[in-house]
């Protein structure tokens, strides 16, 4: 009998990638199918995020809801993976005994084994070790033909920004080899994928080998662009400190590389950047933006911002606002600083009230929204080359596409054959979160 699986994913794109791989593995090795709802499942997996305190709290609320399903269905198994699992290990089972399996971001390939062991012995299973790149040897290369697909190229992070838990939860940086990555890209392209989104916490420090020699992200991008049917390439996330010259130059040579980059700056105050241990200052960041814009003038930049880092003064915050006005960022993410366990920033004195932090976040987000809406409005009346991603979730009479600068565009069409194609769309309306248009003949 086929067993049913339900996966809930919190957090970043790396987690989305990992969750897709969990499904591929369990389908291939244990014959699992995706359940339509949680109460039909034989195995419930929560892929967790611990980047901020709120994300972490969500885990135990979710387990509480799943426990009620398990009360009625005692054979049901609950597995917790991702960064909270990595951080808390067997403490999760101590606090929530309904949980059967705990695994980390680097041990998800062991899920079929952990599941079977629990099934046979009824002993809870915990494995949050860091066996480097082992997991990639176990992933079935499948691909479902989706127009855009994630491909992980580097795991972990060595940067130890003072506020961040990722180096602890995902381990140290390890790059896959270029050959291994290109195999995955080719398999995806054969199935119909047109856009590759290269993933890592810090892709700029990619050091995978090519023909046995240490290589770079720039080289990987060039080789990826040569694979037949790959028409677009994106990458996330880029650390400004390691954005090397060869990567800037690649924008000149590789038209498949999209005209948008996510380049998290975090703050516009040199003092705070130093305390964050980000290894660049405002001047260096602005110089990098300038160099990229010189090579590709249409480039759009998005960023992450942390507001209310310990001891952030009004002047520090105004520095961030000045930087926003100077770069004119497009669609960005911003967060109130959240102290994380075992990070150096969590011991720093902080005299800024939560009220003040919320006010600053509001001011910053209003400005970011204004800028982003401004970019959208400027697109009205233009024709944009767009990759069609699929049907709009809200309205099946509409298809959804993405511009080369990363904007979502909805347009009326029932022609599902357009999915996976690059077409020209005439933009005629800008809404706060997307554009609307019509196919151009």
Contacts of 388 (CB under 8 A, 6+ apart): 147, 399, 400, 401, 418, 419, 420, 421, 422, 423
Task: Residue 176: name its binding partner from ligand F3S, ligand SAH, none (Cβ under 5 to 8 Å by kind).
Answer: none
Alpha-carbon distance values, 204 to 102, 215, 223 (Å): 31, 11, 16
Contacts of 409 (CB under 8 A, 6+ apart): 384, 386, 400, 401, 402, 403, 425, 427, 434, 435, 436, 437
Task: Residue 302: name its binding partner from ligand SAH, ligand F3S, none (Cβ under 5 to 8 Å by kind).
Answer: none
Q: Which residue's CB comes closest to ligand SAH?
A: 304
Among 21, 110, 194, 239, binds ligand F3S (CB under 6 A): 239
Strand partners, 236: 199
109 touching ligand F3S, by CB under 6 A: no
Number of residues interacting with ligand F3S: please give it, by CB under 6 A: 10
DSSP-assigned letters across all residues of 347-406: GS-----HHHHHHHHHHHHHHHHHHHHHHHHHHTT-EEEEEEEEE-SS-TTEEEEEETTS
Return the closest-CA partner of residue 6 out of 32, 30, 25.
32
333 touching ligand F3S, by CB under 6 A: no
Number of residues interacting with ligand SAH: please give it, by CB under 6 A: 17
| Segment 24 to 83, residues that bind ligand SAH, using CB under 6 A | 51-52
Among 79, 111, 161, 258, binds ligand F3S (CB under 6 A): 161
- Taking the least distance from each CB to ligand F3S, the nearer of 86 and 201 is 201
- Taking the least distance from each CB to ligand SAH, the nearer of 155 and 184 is 155
Shortest distance in whole angstroms from residue 91 CB to ligand SAH: 20
217 touching ligand F3S, by CB under 6 A: no
Asked if the peptide bond before residue 237 counts as cis, ω within 30 degrees of 0, the response is yes
Residue 75: enclosing H or E segment and its boundaries? none
Strand partners, 77: 43
Give the range of 154-162, 178-186, 217-225, 339-347 binding ligand F3S by CB under 6 A. 154-162
How far is residue 368's CA from residue 374's CA, in Å, rounded to a whole number? 10
337 touching ligand SAH, by CB under 6 A: yes
Among 160, 214, 226, 358, binds ligand F3S (CB under 6 A): 160
DSSP-assigned letters across all residues of 302-354: E-EEEES-TT--HHHHHHHHHHHHHHT--S-EEEE----TT-GGGGS-----H
Give the range of 68-76, 133-141, 158-166, 178-186 binding ligand SAH by CB under 6 A. 158-166
171 touching ligand F3S, by CB under 6 A: no
How far is residue 239's CA from residue 256's CA, in Å, rounded to a whole number? 21
- Taking the least distance from each CB to ligand F3S, the nearer of 60 and 160 is 160
164 touching ligand SAH, by CB under 6 A: yes
Give the pair of three-digit tokens for residue 15.
Answer: 């987690």
- Taking the least distance from each CB to ligand SAH, the nearer of 337 and 411 is 337
| Segment 291 to 310, residues that bind ligand SAH, using CB under 6 A | 304, 306
Q: What binding mask, one character per residue, do residues 185-204 give for ligand SAH by CB under 6 A, x or -?
A: ----------------xx--
Shortest distance in whole angstroms from residue 278 CB to ligand F3S: 7
Which phi and psi angles does 424 have, rounded to 5°? -95, 130
200 touching ligand F3S, by CB under 6 A: no
**Count, residues in the chain:** 441
201 touching ligand F3S, by CB under 6 A: yes
Return the closest-CA partner of residue 163 out of 333, 344, 11, 361.
344
Among 32, 66, 139, 163, binds ligand SAH (CB under 6 A): 163
- Taking the least distance from each CB to ligand SAH, the nearer of 289 and 399 is 289
Task: Residue 167: name its binding partner from ligand SAH, ligand F3S, none (Cβ under 5 to 8 Å by kind).
Answer: ligand F3S
Binding-site ranges for ligand SAH (CB under 6 A): 51-52, 163-164, 166, 201-202, 237, 239, 264, 266, 304, 306, 335, 337-338, 340
What are the residues binding ligand F3S (CB under 6 A)? 157, 159-161, 164, 166-167, 201-202, 239
């Amino acid at each position: 009998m086929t067993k049913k699986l339900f996966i809930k994913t919190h957090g970043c794109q790396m987690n989305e990638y990992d969750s897709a791989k969990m499904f591929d593995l369990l389908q291939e090795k244990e014959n699992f199918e995706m359940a339509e709802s949680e109460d039909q499942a034989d195995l419930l997996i929560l892929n967790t995020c611990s980047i901020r305190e709120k994300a972490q709290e969500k885990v135990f609320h979710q387990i509480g809801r799943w426990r009620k399903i398990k009360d009625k269905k005692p054979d049901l198994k609950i597995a917790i993976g991702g960064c909270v699992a990595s951080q808390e290990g067997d403490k999760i089972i101590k606090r929530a005994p309904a949980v059967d399996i705990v695994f980390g971001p680097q041990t998800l390939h062991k899920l079929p084994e952990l599941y079977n062991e629990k099934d046979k012995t009824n002993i809870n299973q915990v494995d949050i070790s860091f066996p480097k790149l082992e997991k990639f040897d176990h992933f079935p290369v499948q691909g479902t033909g989706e127009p855009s697909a994630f491909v992980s190229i580097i795991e972990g992070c060595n940067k130890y920004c003072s506020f961040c838990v990722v180096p602890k939860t995902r381990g140290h940086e390890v790059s896959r080899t270029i050959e291994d990555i290109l195999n995955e890209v080719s398999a995806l392209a054969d199935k119909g994928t047109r856009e590759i989104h290269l993933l890592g916490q810090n892709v700029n420090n990619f050091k995978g080998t090519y023909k046995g020699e240490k290589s770079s992200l720039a080289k990987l991008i060039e080789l990826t662009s040569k694979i037949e049917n790959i028409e677009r390439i994106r990458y996330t996330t880029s650390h400004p400190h390691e954005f090397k010259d060869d990567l800037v130059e690649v924008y000149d040579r590789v038209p498949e590389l999209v005209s948008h980059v996510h380049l998290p700056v975090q703050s516009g105050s040199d003092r705070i950047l130093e305390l964050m241990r980000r290894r660049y200052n405002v001047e260096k960041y602005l110089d990098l933006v300038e160099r990229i814009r010189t090579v590709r003038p249409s480039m759009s930049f998005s960023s992450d911002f942390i507001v209310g880092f310990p001891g952030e003064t009004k002047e520090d915050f105004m520095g961030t606002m000045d930087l926003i006005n100077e770069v004119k960022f497009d669609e960005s993410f911003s967060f109130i600083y959240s102290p994380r366990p075992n990070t150096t920033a969590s011991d720093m004195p902080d005299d800024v009230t939560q009220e003040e932090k919320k006010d600053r976040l509001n001011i910053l987000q209003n400005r970011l929204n204004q800028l982003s809406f401004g970019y959208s409005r400027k697109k009205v009346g233009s024709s944009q080359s767009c990759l069609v991603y699929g049907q709009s979730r809200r309205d099946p009479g509409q298809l959804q596409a993405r511009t080369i600068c990363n904007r979502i565009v909805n347009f009326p069409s029932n022609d599902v054959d357009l999915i996976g194609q690059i077409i020209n769309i005439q933009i005629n309306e800008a809404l706060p979160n997307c554009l609307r248009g019509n196919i151009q003949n």
